[in-house]
Structure 1
């Protein structure tokens, strides 16, 4: 189970890091032209930058505390944050009728919930 939690946290971290860096580096107009990113027109450019920063921090929070041994309780806290982030993403996509994108977010939500459950519970870094 420990390995499965690491794999899930690692996959989530990669997805969040790529998405976050994209939101931080790519202008909203250019991003809106990309396939599946039409939702970006619903938000201001600064909101997208803040969202990108949150995603990068979430990626770091899923991995770095456990790797460094500094405040490893932050791993499941970060996973809960990713769950909340994915709920927001799903609401945004469903509101726009983008069911397939919402389904992808549901997969990420399930992975994050698994990491949160596992790291708060049976495979906690504490104790």
Structure 2
């Protein structure tokens, strides 16, 4: 179970890193032109960059607290925050009729929920 949770955290961190870098450092116009990036047309630059920063923080929150052994409870807290972020992403893509992206966000949500459940519960770092 611990290995599965680490794999899930690693996968989610990779997703967050990719999304975070693109939203933070790629111009909004370029993001809007990419498949699945059309939602950025309706969002302000600051909002998109803030989402990118949240995703970059999620990378740190999923891995770093355990590695440095400081506040490991932040791992499942970060996973819960990711669940909330994915709910917002699913609503946004759903409103745009982008069902493929809703399904993809649901997959990421499920990974985050698994991490939150596992790290708050049976494989807690504090136990």
Cα offset, 1:43, TM superposition: 0.4
Instruction: Within 5 Å, give how 1:13-92 maps onto structure 2.
Output: 13-92=13-92
Deviation sequence 1:50-107 (CA, Å, 0-9, x none)? 0000000011100000111110000000000000000000000001000000000000
Structure 2, unpaired ranges of 5+: none
> Which structure 1 residue ranges, 5 or more long, are not aligned?
none
- Distance in 2 of aligned mates of 1:46 and 1:21: 14
SS at match of 1:24: helix
| Equivalent in the alignment of 2:116 | 116
Q: What do you get for the CA RMSD once the two structures are aligned?
A: 0.5
Deviant stretches of 4+, over 4 Å? none
Secondary structure at 1:123 match in 2: coil
Cα distance in structure 2, aligned partners of 1:50 and 1:68: 26
Distance in 2 (CA, whole Å) between partners of 1:79 and 1:8 is: 10
Distance 1:66 1:9 in 2: 12
Task: Provide the aligned length of Structure 1 versus Structure 2.
Answer: 127
How do 1:90-105 and structure 2 match up within 5 A? 90-105=90-105
By how many angstroms is 1:112 displaced? 0.2
TM (normalized to structure 2)?
Answer: 0.98
